[in-house]
Structure 1
Amino acid sequence: MDERARIPVTLPRDNPTTSYWQDPPDASIADLRSTPVLPPTADTVIIGSGITGAATAWHLLQLNPLKSQSVVMLEARQACSGATGRNGGHTKAASYRSFPAHAAKYGVEMACQIARLELANILAVHAFARDHSIPCDLNACDTVDVVYDPVQWEEAKVSVAAMREALGEGDPAAEYALYSTDEMREKFYVHDGVFAGKTEKVCGGVGYFAGSISGYLFTVGVLKMCLDRGLNLQTGTPATELVRQQDGKWAINTPRGRIISNRVVLATNGYTAALVPEFQGVLVPFRGQITAHRPGTALPERGCLPTTYSFIYEKGYEYMVPRPKGSKFEGDIIMGGGLVRAPDDELDEFGTTDDTTLNETISKYLRDTTPRYFGPDWGEDDPAGRIRREWTGIMGHSPDGFPFVGEMPGRPGLWVSCSFQGHGMVLCWMSSKGLVEMMEGRDGDELASWFPSVFRVTKERLEQRFQGRL
């Protein structure tokens, strides 16, 4: 892992695999340059146009409805062409799976705060999409974790009980349902599976609130609202260097010129170390892979299943998002994960920023997941073929499994919100809100009441050694 973590992080690459969500890209915003030349100065420059960059711009511009500040956003490729536009669209926290580890290491109070923030993030994203009528295929629904590993099934029951006790009766963040093996088969159409000749039996399941959304369409909607409030978006404009000036301002160099800004926000996730050397070997890129399956002929509801899924087995998992009714390609099954099925326990997926290619071993595995998990309830493949699309995307992982949010130690005016562990749809929005509170000088008791201190970027966290995904 040390060798993979030392690979120099690059800027986003040209010609990435075509994401299911970006086919076609939004005609009005994908290649937008709000002005034909870069403005020479700005109050704030945001680097990155995914959900973190868009949310940060929105929260900043909301504070200045009369457009009294200038905000410029730089994007290396097309708008929202990074992880947000390439993920599975799952707004799912699965907080019970991490709660015991968080409680043991950071205390029960911190574990509760993290769980509440994750749920609050999901609810905030859903509410924003509804309130602003963003057409992003929002599907607020329950999810179910199908557990095939008996050890993890026992751990899940203990974790759910611990959350209920710690958070208190009636707390929405502790609302879970436990399902028996028979209930899982009857309610959710899942079956025992076979992998590498070994039968993996359904042990039980955990149900709770989650949902799905097109992260791409949602973020494009937020960006358009920001443009109406004065955001200057510059696509095809990678930031190549950050230089702090003698007067304390920042020079952001790009192939199209230089911008001088009072402050810079890095919403660059897995690519962050390409601009800030302190993150090399600490915030490590990690490539994920996803397939879109046409629904099998026997799948109930023609694939528009009422819940989303995760399939949890020894050492790994897949997640599954059925496309809801009324969406483009309704009934398609989005399946991501499968990384531990790759040779060398997914090691080659660390340290790479190459989203221009697929890992064929993972491709083969993911293509076969749906008939294996659903068995006879899958039926025959669609006459057009099982797989509609395959693509990859670059995530960012930290040594402790938390985001880095705040002002860089020793670098006044340089702010970051990055490293979301593939969990961005339940962390990015509220992390950006917390970041803007810090940037605007409202970093007090109110923020501390809901924003986990373990998310803040500190010198100590930057000195940690990355040893793999948590």
Structure 2
Amino acid sequence: MGNTFSFFRLALNEFLDNLHTFQTLQARIERSPGLPLPNPSRSFWTYPPSPIATHVSQLPTHADFVVVGSGITGTSVVRRLLDCACADGHDIRVVMLEARDACSGATGRNGGHISPPLYHDYTSLKRDYGRVVAQKMIKLRLAHLEELRSVAEQEGILAESQWREVESVDVFYNSDMFEKAKRKVQTYKADLPFDAEHHEVYEAKEAIEKYRLASDTLGCVSSSAGAIHPYQFVTRILAKLLSQYPDHFSLCTNTPCTSILPPTPSNPYYTLSTPRGTITTPHIIHATNGWASTLLEKLRGKIIPFRGNMSAQRPGQSLPLPDSNATSHRSFIFYTRPIGYDYLTQLPAGEHELMLGGGFAQDGDEGYEAIGNTDDTTYSTRIGAHLSGVLPRYFGENNWGREGVPLEGEWAEGRVKALWSGILGISADSIPWVGRLPRVICGRSEPPLSSIVKSEKEEGEQVHVGAAPGEWIAAGYSGEGMVHAWLSGKALAGMVLGREVEEWFPDIMRITEKRWKKARAENLLDALSSD
């Protein structure tokens, strides 16, 4: 009887602990993310700061389109709006509002990976949405490799953005996880032969020798991917847009949108409040990802903030350095346990810094402390300790060799040059949210159709620019913004302009009332706890 009681007591304590954790998470998820905090942790990407980092245009009293957020999504939206509308002869005004410095959110704080989850997600996408839709999602992710390179070339910033093709290597240390991965690769290669040639499986001995990994590596899966300097990519495009469209584009950094008022009989537009004044517009485009539900309360629990952690580290002296040959560039994802992973890419110049992020499961309670956390002024000390010490473990101490000798500079002189954090936006149903916000979600009435933006194409002739007025969004990339955000923003801009949606855009990413009702944070928490 005593043993039975003890077992019951332990089970009850575990249940109560889990219940408390769940209730704590639930409360955190349902609260407002607030505005981005001032003085965020120092991201290695953002130094030296861009010349337009603190650019403040004069805030007009009215704009045809207001974009909230200056990361990769907002930049993609603004670029297409301006290029398309101005090419058609429309005299439009686009305003971008940013709460902090330009590109100071997740885009300027991530790992720079253009590494689409392909075989990893294909099986579950196929199960949930069918083969055709699953393949469309995979193709969208793959398309970002060429799209980002093409944009960088068009803007003349290919070298500055450090775009490069890399071999992406998934490394496994758990036999069950590796066997599961191999089965997924088989399904993927059978269903998507157009990409099959880019995936190879290496068993332990060959993987260790080929990639110079630690001796307990059980195997690898390699594929093609890319990498980029995300901050340089975005800020250089924004700088070019300011120069190219001085009469059409305004960038207002350190100008948060603090509230939105709906149209009224006396004012047929939305009114956005900022510390610099108010601005009216028929179109609001939300490009704030993890902070989206600050202004859109009904998205709390649908797009969930999540604090990720990153580092910049000097490589060990025995590691081979990438050279001008593109085939020498590699990125890695290290899978050591079912929940979370670490991801690594290497810069092509300078000290050839290793950009390492992850450590989700090291953040206490299997990473739950990161969920709903919007404080990027600091980073998790537990994750920082993990990231700071794990690289010689992954590559093997002999392969790592002596610590790298630091060059003179303003960063820390040890292995780890910098540690910082960033706020991601996790989708409750794992799919990005893109499109026009239904009224039930934005909670505000829409401007009347008569207030659609107009411009003079020819003297005396008025033409409409844009779809029906309203609020729009592209967000919720679940940590994979570099393979979702740019084309999501491009597609969204087309929708705002009233154009036919491109054939390549997956309809499952559209935001609808039905999807909004179905997506529940509890499902995401259950999935995390059951992995």
Tell me which interval the TM-score lies in, with the shorter structure as reference length: over 0.9
For 2:5, the equivalent position in structure 1 comes to none
Contact persistence 1:5–1:350 (CA under 8 A): yes
Larger radius of gyration: 2
For residues 370-410 of structure 1, the C-alpha deviation after alignment (integer angstroms, 9 at most, x for no partner) is 11101111112124411000000000011111111001012
Displacement of 1:299 after TM fit? Answer: 1.1
- 1 CA distance for matches of 2:489 and 2:268? 23
Contact persistence 1:52–1:428 (CA under 8 A): yes
The code of the aligned residue for 1:138 comes to W
- Within the candidate set 282, 302, 306, 2:329 is matched to 306
For 1:231, the equivalent position in structure 2 comes to 249
Displacement of 1:280 after TM fit? Answer: 1.4
Contact persistence 1:61–1:67 (CA under 8 A): no
Displacement of 1:67 after TM fit? Answer: 6.0
- 2 CA distance for matches of 1:39 and 1:309? 46
- 2 CA distance for matches of 1:265 and 1:308? 33
For 2:128, the equivalent position in structure 1 comes to 105
Deviates more, 1:265-274 or 1:151-160: 151-160
Contact persistence 1:417–1:435 (CA under 8 A): yes
1:319 aligns with 2:343: yes
- 1 CA distance for matches of 2:399 and 2:198? 29
Q: Normalising by structure 1, report the TM-score.
A: 0.92
Contact persistence 1:303–1:331 (CA under 8 A): no
For 1:195, the equivalent position in structure 2 comes to none
Find the residue that maps to 2:386 and give its secondary structure.
Answer: helix
Find the residue that maps to 1:251 and give its secondary structure.
Answer: strand
Contact persistence 2:155–2:237 (CA under 8 A): no
- Within the candidate set 199, 206, 221, 2:236 is matched to 221
Contact persistence 2:357–2:387 (CA under 8 A): yes
- 2 CA distance for matches of 1:173 and 1:415? 36
For residues 257-290 of structure 1, the C-alpha deviation after alignment (integer angstroms, 9 at most, x for no partner) is 1100010100000001110111112211000001
- 1 CA distance for matches of 2:510 and 2:136? 14
- Within the candidate set 253, 261, 273, 1:253 is matched to 273
The code of the aligned residue for 1:149 comes to N
1:401 aligns with 2:430: yes
For 1:465, the equivalent position in structure 2 comes to 520
Contact persistence 2:45–2:231 (CA under 8 A): yes
Going from structure 1 to structure 2, the CA distance change for 1:67 and 1:214 (only over 3 Å counts) comes to farther
For 2:28, the equivalent position in structure 1 comes to 4
For residues 1-26 of structure 1, the C-alpha deviation after alignment (integer angstroms, 9 at most, x for no partner) is 32331232111000000100111211
For 2:390, the equivalent position in structure 1 comes to 369
The code of the aligned residue for 1:163 comes to Y
Going from structure 1 to structure 2, the CA distance change for 1:177 and 1:302 (only over 3 Å counts) comes to closer
- Within the candidate set 400, 405, 408, 1:378 is matched to 400
State percent identity of aligned pairs.
35
Find the residue that maps to 1:210 and give its secondary structure.
Answer: strand
For 1:356, the equivalent position in structure 2 comes to 377
Find the residue that maps to 1:441 and give its secondary structure.
Answer: coil
For 2:41, the equivalent position in structure 1 comes to 17
Displacement of 1:105 after TM fit? Answer: 0.8
The code of the aligned residue for 1:459 comes to E
Going from structure 1 to structure 2, the CA distance change for 1:11 and 1:202 (only over 3 Å counts) comes to same
Q: How do residues 68-467 of structure 1 correspond to structure 2 at under 5 angstroms?
A: 68-134=91-157, 135-167=160-192, 169=193, 171-172=194-195, 175-192=198-215, 201-227=216-242, 228-229=244-245, 230-246=248-264, 248-301=268-321, 306-315=329-338, 316-324=340-348, 327=349, 329-375=350-396, 376-383=398-405, 384-410=413-439, 412=446, 413-443=470-500, 447=502, 449-463=503-517, 464-467=519-522
Contact persistence 1:136–1:213 (CA under 8 A): yes
The code of the aligned residue for 1:402 comes to I
Contact persistence 1:303–1:332 (CA under 8 A): no
Going from structure 1 to structure 2, the CA distance change for 1:173 and 1:30 (only over 3 Å counts) comes to farther
Q: Which has the higher contact order (CA 8 A, sep 6+)?
A: 1
Q: Normalising by structure 2, report the TM-score.
A: 0.82
Going from structure 1 to structure 2, the CA distance change for 1:91 and 1:293 (only over 3 Å counts) comes to same
Going from structure 1 to structure 2, the CA distance change for 1:245 and 1:253 (only over 3 Å counts) comes to same
The code of the aligned residue for 2:241 comes to C
More helix by share: 2
How many residues of Structure 1 are paired with residues of Structure 2 in the alignment?
451
Deviates more, 1:79-88 or 1:454-463: 454-463
Structure 2 gap ranges (5+): 1-24, 406-412, 447-469
- 1 CA distance for matches of 2:45 and 2:198? 31
